[in-house]
Structure 1
Amino acid sequence: MSDSPSLLFSLDGGVATICFNRPQVFNSVNKEVALALQQHLRECQQNPAVRAVLLTGTGKAFCAGQDLAEITGPESPEVAEIVEKLYNPIVELIRGVEKPVVAAVNGVAAGAGANLALACDIVVAKESASFIQAFSKIGLIPDSAGTFFLPRLIGMQRASALMMTGDKVSAAEAVQMGMIYKAFPDETFEQEAQALVKKLAAMPTKGLAYTKQLLNVSFSNDLTQQLRYEADFQLRAGNTSDYREGVAAFMEKRQPSFTGQ
């Protein structure tokens, strides 16, 4: 991996790996990390060699959210400014990247760290990992789209309780309540997460991008609108090279070779 020591980036076999690397502060986010993450997500969108994105962390934490040391000094920016300039663009980029984004939660994901993970297309975690909506413990409200995604994932009642109490949720509990996709044993977590994102990178990623766009608008569309969008995007998908390759491979009883075109 390369780049800023606080946020590592690598590209291998179509998989872009972005890794929080401030283990001494549980991978909490400062301005440098946030802006670097924004830039890497833009690069992932623009680079055709990137077919899937993996977001993870080093050490015992995935991401502990905002580095409070950066916002408690006498000349520190307002919290609202931090949210608007640093976190909101990250969430919009994650949802806007026309490629699958997988969060591999290797440890505690707290505050904005938890909500950045939940904004990803697929979330997997170590069995020892945990999720905490920690905002209420310091008198703040859940940001980074937490109030948007969490109730949609687990329902209003559970989301309200977790956000108000700040209770810790284990990876197994997160799977059970539909917050995340899967939890893997700690010993095999990295291999399992890599296998998942490599599988996605080898799939017809143009179709996956269309699926992601449909899921984005499904939050605000009614049934008739969504059916119209599905028809439109199915027409687009049917005109891709990957669709033609997929059908040909099926008919010829061979493994398809998708290109994302």
Structure 2
Amino acid sequence: MTVTSKVAVAFLTDMTALLSSTQNGSVILTLNRPERANAFDFELTQSLRQALVQAEDDPQAGCVVITGAGKVFSAGQDLTEMKQGENISYREHLEKTYNPLILQIRNMGKPVIAAVNGACAGAAFGIALACDIRIAKTSAYFVVGFSGIALAPDSGVSLFLPKYIGLGRAQEYFYTNKPIPAALAYEWGIANRVGGFNYQRLVSQMAADLARGPREAFALGKMAFNQAYLPNLEEVLNQEGILQEEARTHEEHRRRVDEFFDRRKKS
């Protein structure tokens, strides 16, 4: 029997920007800002972090799924928030938002699945890569994204992506900002599974299987993978923040952000 409950999680805002439901021993966290392509603002990032803490502490939960509402997983950082705070330190912003979120996902003892239902770009790509497993819809695609607004990679992308697809490919897709379609993501090892009409079944089955697994062994195994494969993750995140702080001072970045908003006004 499937027991499903849906509760709006709104720790710092009265908006239902993050939805939480339970299904067969898994916690499903849905980024719910479809009008903003599920882009992350500070409140959504903090709500996701707190929801992950709750899931970690929930004895009934053996797995966590992160997905997006509508047809998009997430466009990454909400540029409107950054535009409104033009004097914000990007390094400090990363230290308060994505860096601890990425570390939290990696340090969480329970498996975390990214159910990528559509476009996944920028910081959201880093979040998906930090998850243990990625299941993508056939129509989904991944975009490094940062170079489009003259920024360096952050949210762990500079570490995760080369480990999955090699340094040459990672640099190419950073420089060109080309999308990586789901089929190619599967071929290169970014996506563990890709599904069309059976996408939701793939996600539900994987989550249920992991939720029934040996929790202590899963936690220790994840710790072993982290120590062997990602021992310098925190150092990389800190360095990304330093580089991003420099990038924000360049005129090219400001110009490209202005062009982004000009295009939005015209559309």
1:141 aligns with 2:152: yes
1:120 aligned partner, one-letter code: C
Change (3 A) 1:74 1:102: closer
Query: What's the secondary structure of 2:77's corresponding residue?
Result: coil
Task: Give the structure with higher Rg (CA).
Answer: 1
Instruction: From 207, 210, 227, give the equivalent of 1:197.
Output: 207
How much does 1:200 deviate? 0.6
1:58 aligns with 2:69: yes
How much does 1:87 deviate? 0.5
Query: What's the secondary structure of 1:59's corresponding residue?
Result: coil
2:206 aligned partner, one-letter code: L
Residues 43-52 or 33-42, more deviating: 43-52
Query: What's the secondary structure of 1:19's corresponding residue?
Result: strand
Tell me how far apart the structure 2 counterparts of residues 200 and 171 of structure 1 sit (CA, whole Å). Answer: 23
Percent identity for Structure 1 against Structure 2: 37
Question: Any conservation in 2 of the 1:54–1:103 contact (CA below 8 Å)?
Answer: yes
- Residue aligning to 2:235: none
Tell me how far apart the structure 1 counterparts of residues 54 and 210 of structure 2 sit (CA, whole Å). Answer: 18
Instruction: From 2, 19, 37, give the equivalent of 2:7.
Output: 2
Tell me how far apart the structure 1 counterparts of residues 41 and 230 of structure 2 sit (CA, whole Å). Answer: 32
1:30 aligned partner, one-letter code: D
Query: What's the secondary structure of 1:72's corresponding residue?
Result: helix
Instruction: From 116, 127, 139, give the equivalent of 1:128.
Output: 139
For structure 2, which runs of at least 5 residues remain unmatched after alignment? 1-5, 11-15, 232-267
How much does 1:220 deviate? 5.8
Query: What's the secondary structure of 2:135's corresponding residue?
Result: strand
1:217 aligns with 2:223: no
Q: How does 1:1-261 map to 2 (within 5 A)?
A: 1-3=6-8, 4=10, 5-73=16-84, 77-185=88-196, 187-219=197-229
Structure with more contact order per residue of length (Cα contacts < 8 Å, sep ≥ 6)? 2
Spell out, residue by residue over 1:157-214, the C-alpha distance to the aligned partner (whole angstroms, 9 max, x if none): 11111112111010000011111211111x2211211111111101112211111111
- Residue aligning to 2:255: none
Runs of 4+ aligned structure 1 residues displaced above 3 Å come to none
Aligned length: 220
Query: What's the secondary structure of 2:205's corresponding residue?
Result: helix
Question: Any conservation in 2 of the 1:184–1:192 contact (CA below 8 Å)?
Answer: yes
TM-score (norm 1): 0.81
TM-score (norm 2): 0.79
Spell out, residue by residue over 1:9-66, the C-alpha distance to the aligned partner (whole angstroms, 9 max, x if none): 1223320111100011110000110000110111122222211000101111101100
